[in-house]
Amino acid sequence: MKRVLAAVVLGFGLTAGAVTASVEDEIRARIAPVGEVCVQGEDCGSEAAPAATASSGPRSGNEVYDSACTACHSTGAAGAPKLGDAGAWGGRVDKGLETLVDHAINGFNAMPAKGGCGNCSDEEIQAAVEYMVSEVE
């Protein structure tokens, strides 16, 4: 009887050990890193990110408007004057283009600096302002 009991206990022990190992493997798989950092100068293999392409120059005012400004200036969100709305733009245009560009670059009232377009240059923001003003006149 002792031998049978010992065999049963040994069997449960081996099964429990295998189950524990399986669970540990599953846990390791779930918490494994999803990526690796490749530092410039290290050989990261063929999976390295491609180099950024050079810009072909500043974007036009219309392109900047379509990519960054349209979210607020097409809907009037947060009080933004809608594109082409002469009534909303009238008082703003009277302040002069220089003031409008300054407000667009540095932010004004609810509008963040550069309208939230972090990759836009000052020149591109000015082009976008000029485009929006030209749509009013």
| pTM listed for this prediction | 0.59
Among 7-11, 92-96, 100-104, the minimum mean pLDDT is found in 7-11
The percent of residues above 90 in pLDDT, for the chain, comes to 19
Residue 78: the pLDDT is 86
Residue 102: the pLDDT is 93
Q: Is 107 helix (H, G, I), strand (E, B) or coil?
A: coil
122 confidence band (pLDDT: 50, 70, 90):
very high
Among 12-21, 39-48, 90-99, 108-117, the minimum mean pLDDT is found in 12-21
Q: Between residues 114 and 46, which one has the greater pLDDT? A: 114
Domains parsed from the chain with CATH numbers: 61-134 (1.10.760.10)
Give 108's strand partners.
111
Distance, CA of 13 to CA of 32 (rounded, Å)? 28
**69-78 contacts, C-beta under 8 A, 24 or more apart:** 69/115, 69/117, 69/128, 69/132, 72/111, 72/115, 73/132, 78/109, 78/110, 78/111
Give yes or no for residue 83 having a pLDDT over 80.
yes
Residue 98: the pLDDT is 93
Residue 8: the pLDDT is 66
